[in-house]
Amino acid sequence: MRWIDILAGDGGLSIVDLWELRDGDSVTITNRLEDLPTWFELHPTETQGTFAYKMLRKLQEGHQPGDVMDGPNLWRLRAGDRVVWMGESRPGQHAVDHILAILDLRECALTIGEAPRGTLSEAIAFGALKADPGPADAVLGRAAVAAVRQLGVPRALATQWALG
């Protein structure tokens, strides 16, 4: 979730993306270059700070960047975003109203989803919601929104995404 307008109070909160993971799916949330998958290329416009200096060296060595990478399994989280991890309690992780954890981002990060399924159509459908969500799903969604609202406005805020 993201605060689109922090001056609008609760009305400024928006659900930016929603992933429903299947058994075997994994998610990495990182702001470290070392953690990015080998197939992911950070674009020069997506860097700041020390990463911008590293990118400048690559460009001076002749690197020709492609387009900004995007896909259904990539999510660019901004400072100020809140990620709500929902599910059933499990060993070592107790859920309250089906909320296992809330990640409060203080820096921008990249979320990379990976699935063990190999066909192109399955890759494109990564994180897609089930076709017929029911009333129980709406209750879960309301619990997530209420929990994020209870945290209040974020202490960090980014208007555009960049790592570094």
pLDDT at 95 (0 to 100): 95
- Let me know if 1 is exposed, middle or buried by CB neighbors in 10 A (0-12, 13-18, 19+): buried
What residues have CB less than 8 Å from 12, skipping those under 6 apart? 3, 4, 5, 6
Q: Please check whether residue 148 is in contact with residue 1, taking contact to mean a CB–CB distance below 8 angstroms.
A: yes
Residue 149 pLDDT > 70: yes
For Cα atoms 67, 32, 65, give the angle at the middle one, nearest 5 degrees.
20
Average pLDDT over residues 77-84: 96
Average pLDDT over residues 43-67: 96
Query: What's this model's pTM, rounded to 2 decimal places?
Result: 0.88
**Which tens digit of pLDDT belongs to each residue from 23-45?**
889 999 999 999 999 999 999 99
